[in-house]
């Protein structure tokens, strides 16, 4: 076996430039796939994290009949005395924050412009509001007793040229099916780096939201953040009741779960396509090696080397090309992924509502993706050696020594 490996290395060294570029082609393919995998995983991971922080929380408790997509304000669809329920949930050890939120559909009117928004009534001091408090780019945050203040996103502020201190009219649906319109003063402008969210979401203190929608002492949901995502099943078990529905982030982000399974299958297909293309370079290299060493193969065969060992020699060459190519790919891909993991890739505004796609996507490479890609690269590169190895093994010794006539 050692002698066979030495022969394979010697044969690759005969044309070092060709061998290097063959390995480089494989390396570029591996690096490209690493980058694609890290890009997709980073986007999925970032979107889910943003959804948990901004929209779904790790969990939500709602009335049994409440449907978020309808933004119902009917009393039977809301939670009564939400502050008391939130306090009980917050007392659980795994819970980081539990706060009532009231959701309503509304329209922001500025001069002759109107923008459809989701109005969220929040308890300003809650830790669950940290993304908006920390993301404040102008003005100040809301206070619980503010009866005329509103917090708007930077995207909406940019489109309307609004600044803290300016007034806007807000039209909101009420519990009796009517529409109420009131004037609000912009207290602050927040930025989550998700343009579609910042444009379509405004915040008012919970008490004010309850007053304008005529839902006093009611809330749409209890928004819950946990100290650790792994504690979700434990808290679900503690909160199970026939009075409320308890939804986890997985229940509220079904699209992410479905998309993740589709993307896994898609990535396998991309692996095969890209590595299949790069494998053609390996095939070409080994076929050229067969023709260049026809006499040598004939002599080895005449001296008694079995066809299986001749094939093994070419598989060894393919293995060394795979080792070199994968090593190059891991280095190049690792550098690119590390850069994008730190600085991200600016994507701008996708304009897709309901999907938490940020302005900048940060790469995130998992060990599973790295191992899967490495194994796939090795397998495809070894498979690329089947035809050239079989071609060499099938040569008749006499014909090979006379000029390479194939059997």
Is 246 part of a structural domain of the chain? Answer: no
- 124 is a domain residue: yes
Distance CA 82, CA 94 (A): 20
Cβ atoms 193, 358 nearer than 8 A: yes
Q: Extract the tokens encoding 9.
A: 């290395």
Q: Cα separation of 68 and 204, whole Å?
A: 18
Q: Is residue 60 part of a domain?
A: no
Task: Please report how many Cα atoms fall inside a 13 Å half-sphere around the Cα of residue 194, on the Cβ side.
Answer: 24
pLDDT level of residue 211 (50, 70, 90 thresholds) = very high
- Rounded to 10 degrees, what is the CA torsion of 62, 173, 189, 162? 170
Taking the C-alpha atoms of residue 19 and residue 4, their distance in angstroms, rounded to an integer, is 18
Percentage of residues in the chain having pLDDT higher than 90: 49
Q: Where are the beta strands (DSSP E) in 238-347?
A: 244-248, 345-346
Q: Which domain covers residue 274, as residue numbers?
A: 2-51+256-402
Q: Which two tokens stand for residue 401?
A: 């020594």
Of 241, 271, 293, which closes a domain? 241
Residue 322 counted as domain residue: yes
169 with 219, same domain: the answer is: yes
User: Between the ranges 145-159, 278-292, 311-325, where is the mean pLDDT highest?
Assistant: 145-159
Is the pTM of the predicted complex or chain greater than 0.85? no
Question: Is residue 43 included in any domain, yes or no?
Answer: yes
In this structure, the answer to whether residues 228 and 87 fall within a common structural domain is: yes
Helices of type H across 193-306: 195-200, 206-213, 232-239, 249-252, 254-292, 294-302
Please tell me the total number of residues recorded for the chain in this structure: 407
CA–CA dist 40, 268 (Å, integer) = 13
| Strands annotated E in 195-318 | 201-205, 218-219, 221-226, 244-248
Phi, psi of 66, deg, nearest 5: -75, 135
- Look at residue 399 and tell me whether its pLDDT is greater than 90: no
Is residue 249 domain-resident?
no
Looking at 241, 271, 292, which one is the last position of a domain? 241
Q: How far is CA 124 from CA 61, 260, 273, 297, in A?
A: 19, 34, 51, 80
My answer on whether 224 and 119 are in the same domain is yes
Q: Which helix (H) or strand (E) holds 136?
A: strand 136-139
Phi first, then psi: what are they for 108, rounded to 5°? Answer: -95, 125
**Residue 184 sits in the same domain as residue 291:** no
Lowest mean pLDDT among 187-196, 263-272, 315-324: 263-272
Lowest mean pLDDT among 264-278, 324-338, 346-360: 346-360
**Which pLDDT belongs to residue 1?**
63
13-63 pLDDT, tens digit each: 777 888 888 889 899 999 999 999 998 888 888 888 888 999 999 999 999
- Backbone dihedral region for residue 286 (phi beyond 0: left; psi -120 to 50: alpha; all else: beta): alpha
Residues 128-150: tens digit of each pLDDT = 999 999 999 999 999 999 999 99
pLDDT digits (tens, 9 = 90+) for 384-393: 888 887 877 7
User: Does residue 404 carry a pLDDT above 60?
Assistant: no
Pick 294 or 330 by higher pLDDT: 330
Mean pLDDT of all residues belonging to the chain: 86
Closest CA to 159 of 124, 193, 108, 203: 108
Question: pLDDT class for 407, splitting at 50, 70, 90?
Answer: very low
Instruction: Give the per-residue pLDDT at 406.
Output: 44
Q: Are 205 and 124 in contact (CB under 8 A)?
A: yes
Say if residue 272 is in the same domain as residue 331: yes
């Amino acid at each position: 076996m050692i002698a066979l490996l030495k022969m394979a290395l010697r044969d690759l060294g005969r044309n070092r430039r060709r061998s290097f570029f063959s390995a480089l082609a494989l390396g570029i393919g591996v690096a490209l796939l690493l980058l694609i995998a890290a890009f997709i995983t980073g986007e999925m991971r970032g979107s889910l994290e943003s959804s948990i922080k901004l929209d779904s929380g790790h969990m939500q408790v709602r009335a049994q009949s409440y449907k978020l997509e309808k933004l119902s304000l009917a009393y039977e669809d809301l939670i009564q005395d939400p502050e008391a329920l939130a306090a009980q949930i917050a007392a659980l050890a795994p819970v980081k924050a539990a706060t009532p939120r009231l959701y309503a559909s509304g329209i922001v009117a500025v001069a002759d412009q109107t923008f459809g928004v989701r109005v969220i009534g929040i308890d300003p001091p809650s830790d669950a509001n940290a993304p908006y408090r920390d993301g404040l780019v102008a003005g100040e945050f809301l206070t619980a007793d503010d009866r005329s203040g509103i917090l708007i996103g930077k995207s909406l502020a940019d489109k309307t040229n609004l600044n803290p201190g300016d007034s806007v009219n807000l039209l909101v649906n009420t519990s009796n099916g009517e529409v109420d319109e009131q004037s609000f003063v912009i207290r602050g402008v927040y930025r989550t780096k998700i343009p579609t969210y910042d444009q379509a979401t405004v915040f008012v203190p919970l008490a004010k939201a309850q007053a304008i929608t005529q839902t006093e002492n009611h809330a749409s949901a209890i928004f819950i953040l946990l100290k650790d995502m792994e504690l979700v099943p434990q808290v679900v078990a503690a909160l199970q009741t026939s009075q409320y529905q308890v939804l986890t982030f997985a229940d509220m982000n079904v699209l992410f779960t479905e998309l993740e399974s589709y993307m896994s299958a898609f990535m396998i297909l991309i692996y095969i396509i890209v590595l299949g293309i790069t494998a053609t370079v390996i095939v070409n290299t080994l076929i050229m090696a067969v023709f260049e060493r026809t006499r040598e193969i004939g002599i080895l065969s005449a001296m008694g080397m079995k066809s299986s060992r001749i094939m093994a020699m070419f598989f060894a060459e393919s293995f060394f090309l795979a080792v070199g190519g994968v090593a190059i790919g891991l280095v190049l891909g690792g550098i690119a992924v590390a850069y994008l993991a730190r600085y991200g890739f600016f994507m701008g505004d996708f304009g897709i509502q309901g999907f938490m796609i940020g302005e900048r996507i940060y790469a995130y490479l998992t060990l599973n993706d790295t191992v899967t890609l490495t194994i796939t690269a090795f397998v495809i590169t070894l498979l690329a050696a089947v035809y050239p190895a079989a071609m060499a093994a099938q040569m008749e010794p006499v014909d090979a020594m006379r000029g390479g006539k194939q059997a």
